[in-house]
């Protein structure tokens, strides 16, 4: 008899189709990974315990062994919340009612799971109403969205691990530097490291729910090459990839897909607007270059005015046609962090030379196992260095061709190895990578 594996995302509803995913590829990784796991493990069932857009698996090309109870639960949850008079600005008692509604609706599913794979999304330090640290006789009042999109899942994790916390743990996946574990709702210390896109450690408080103070446990985050998962063949975004190995006859010398992103908590000079002004504008404003340049993404009107040109999102079906017709691009730090992201891999797959900001992927996880000369070429040191290298590859097709080929070889090796999948399998099925 096969295993029953739970799957979902903390903090939001998981989109099951490409059209519902965020601008520039956001959220494609969630459905990509469950599809790959289900195909690799046909004897096991994968049940979507996390809230999602509700389609039946067959309707969105997910394998036969993926089960989506939210096709039914979406309507049932709405009806139950309405019947209980749950609206907005929840009181502490209403928070407890919401938790009980989820428990009753989902039944014993958490306890029946043999394994659990969850993406870390937006969450707070408390996502259910739990005792306050400084006064356990009073309870926290989380924001409403925490109750609806995070609290029920953390309560489910506690159910999943209760009585077997020494042998069963969640396989946590994190693709966003902003989503570091901070939830006190988790009762048990983590056993597994979090599979993510940069290696680091921190501590986490765990509420014990028995009147005793929270305990503190270590959280180890390890690089797993997770950022490539949404580009695998057979996944929604991966199937859009087309490769152009020829550096000549391209319409554009330079282009970027980049969203503005929030600058809160980002150190000076690392926000996207400043990076655009200091690094990208000197290339775009180069009047000696006849070929046009482009930038697509979501930006505020204020920032567009400051930059002096309009920036709009590109349609999904134009993503790879644009990259294939562009010689060079540039990747910048994600939310001011040193995380690796999918952007370079997207360019490597499509045949666009991708230069790296010096603060991007500051542990060199992406290029550490690439051809050493590829790393030296792609990692630029200054805005002047970037502009010089863009001009150099544009003037030398043989150099451009060599870089394009080495990038694609590196991408193909990463896709063959799929390190993140092997690490997931080792944690759940105890198979060595």
Q: What is the pLDDT of residue 24?
A: 41
Band (pLDDT 50/70/90 cuts) for residue 23 is very low
Tens-digit pLDDT profile for residues 165-202:
999 999 999 988 788 999 999 999 999 999 999 999 99
Q: Mean pLDDT, to the nearest integer, of 326-340? A: 89
* 407 belongs to a structural domain: yes
Whole-angstrom distance, CA of residue 85 vs CA of residue 422: 46
Whole-angstrom distance, CA of residue 351 vs CA of residue 369: 19
Given a cut of 60, whether residue 13 has pLDDT beyond it is: yes
Tens-digit pLDDT profile for residues 391-413:
999 999 999 999 999 999 999 99
Tens-digit pLDDT profile for residues 335-392:
767 899 999 999 999 999 999 999 999 999 999 999 999 999 999 999 999 999 999 9
3-class DSSP state of 282: helix
Domain membership of residue 288 as a residue range: 238-417
Do 338 and 375 lie in one domain? The reply is yes
Residues 80/82/85/91 CA torsion (nearest 10 deg): 70
Do 198 and 268 lie in one domain? The reply is no
Do 160 and 286 lie in one domain? The reply is no
Do 327 and 190 lie in one domain? The reply is no
Q: What is the pLDDT of residue 1?
A: 79
* 322 belongs to a structural domain: yes
Do 242 and 178 lie in one domain? The reply is no
**Token pair 């200054």: residue:** 382
Alpha helices per DSSP H over 239-331: 272-275, 281-284, 301-307, 319-324
Do 47 and 127 lie in one domain? The reply is yes
Band (pLDDT 50/70/90 cuts) for residue 19 is low
* 233 belongs to a structural domain: no
Q: Mean pLDDT, to the nearest integer, of 318-333? A: 95
User: 231, 12 in Cβ contact below 8 A?
Assistant: no
Tens-digit pLDDT profile for residues 261-312:
766 666 767 789 999 999 999 999 886 777 889 999 999 999 999 999 899 9
Do 327 and 265 lie in one domain? The reply is yes
Q: What's the chain's average pLDDT?
A: 92
Provide the number of structural domains found in the chain. 2
Whole-angstrom distance, CA of residue 433 vs CA of residue 420: 10
Strand order in the sheet with 215-223: 66-67, 45-48, 4-9, 115-119, 171-173, 194-196, 215-223, 200-206
Residues 349/257/122/180 CA torsion (nearest 10 deg): 60
Tens-digit pLDDT profile for residues 91-117:
999 999 999 999 999 999 999 999 999
Q: List the beta bridge partners of residue 254.
A: 293, 328
Given a cut of 90, whether residue 77 has pLDDT beyond it is: yes
Do 393 and 422 lie in one domain? The reply is no
pTM of the predicted structure, to 2 decimals? 0.92
* 136 belongs to a structural domain: yes
Q: What is the pLDDT of residue 322?
A: 95
Give all strands (DSSP E) within 300-359, no chain letters: 326-331, 353-356
Structure tokens at 56: 């039946």
Q: Mean pLDDT, to the nearest integer, of 147-153? A: 97
Given a cut of 60, whether residue 331 has pLDDT beyond it is: yes
Structure tokens at 197: 């896109």
Band (pLDDT 50/70/90 cuts) for residue 433 is very low
* 389 belongs to a structural domain: yes
Whole-angstrom distance, CA of residue 65 vs CA of residue 82: 33
For residue 281, the domain's CATH number is 3.40.50.2000
* 11 belongs to a structural domain: yes
Do 401 and 424 lie in one domain? The reply is no
3-class DSSP state of 415: helix
> Which of 28-37, 115-124, 130-139, 215-224 bottoms out in mean pLDDT, i.e. has the lowest?
28-37
Do 8 and 81 lie in one domain? The reply is yes
Do 124 and 268 lie in one domain? The reply is no
* 109 belongs to a structural domain: yes
Do 280 and 148 lie in one domain? The reply is no
Q: What is the pLDDT of residue 27?
A: 62
């Amino acid at each position: 008899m096969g295993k029953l594996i739970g799957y979902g995302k903390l903090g939001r509803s998981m989109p099951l189709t490409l059209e519902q995913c965020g601008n520039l590829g956001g959220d494609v990784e969630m459905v990509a990974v469950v599809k790959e796991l289900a195909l690799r493990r046909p004897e096991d069932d994968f049940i979507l315990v996390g809230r999602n857009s509700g389609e039946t698996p067959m309707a969105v090309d997910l394998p036969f062994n993926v089960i989506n109870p939210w096709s039914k639960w979406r309507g049932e949850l709405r009806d139950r919340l309405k019947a209980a008079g749950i609206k907005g600005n929840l009181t502490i008692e209403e928070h407890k009612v919401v938790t009980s509604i989820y428990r009753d609706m989902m039944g014993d599913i958490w306890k029946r799971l043999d394994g659990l794979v969850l993406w870390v999304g937006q969450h707070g330090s408390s996502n259910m109403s739990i005792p306050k640290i400084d006064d356990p006789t009073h309870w926290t009042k989380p924001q409403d969205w925490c109750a609806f999109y995070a609290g029920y899942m953390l309560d489910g994790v506690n159910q999943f691990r209760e009585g077997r916390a020494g042998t069963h743990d969640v396989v946590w996946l994190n693709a966003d530097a902003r989503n570091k574990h901070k939830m006190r709702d988790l009762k048990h210390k983590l056993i597994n490291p979090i599979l993510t896109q940069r290696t680091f450690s921190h501590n986490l408080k765990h509420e014990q729910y028995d009147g005793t103070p929270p305990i503190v446990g270590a959280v180890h985050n390890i690089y797993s090459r997770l950022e490539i998962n949404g580009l695998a063949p057979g996944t929604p975004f991966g199937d859009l990839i087309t490769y152009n190995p020829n550096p000549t006859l391209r319409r554009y010398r330079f282009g970027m897909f980049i969203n503005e992103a929030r600058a809160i908590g980002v150190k000076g000079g690392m926000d996207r607007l400043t990076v655009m002004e200091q690094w990208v504008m000197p290339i775009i404003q180069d009047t000696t270059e006849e070929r046009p340049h482009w930038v697509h993404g979501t930006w505020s009107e204020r920032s567009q005015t400051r930059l002096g040109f309009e920036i709009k999102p590109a349609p999904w079906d134009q993503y790879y046609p644009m990259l294939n017709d562009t010689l060079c691009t540039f990747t910048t730090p994600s939310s001011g962090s040193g995380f690796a992201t999918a952007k370079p891999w997207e360019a490597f797959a499509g045949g666009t030379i991708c230069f790296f900001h010096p603060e991007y992927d500051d542990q060199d996880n992406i290029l550490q196992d690439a051809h050493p000369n590829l790393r030296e070429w792609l990692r630029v040191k200054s805005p002047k260095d970037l502009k010089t290298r863009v001009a150099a590859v544009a003037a030398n097709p043989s150099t451009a061709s060599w870089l394009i080929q080495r990038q694609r070889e590196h991408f193909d090796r990463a896709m063959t190895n799929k390190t993140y999948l092997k690490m997931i399998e080792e944690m759940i099925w105890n198979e060595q990578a």
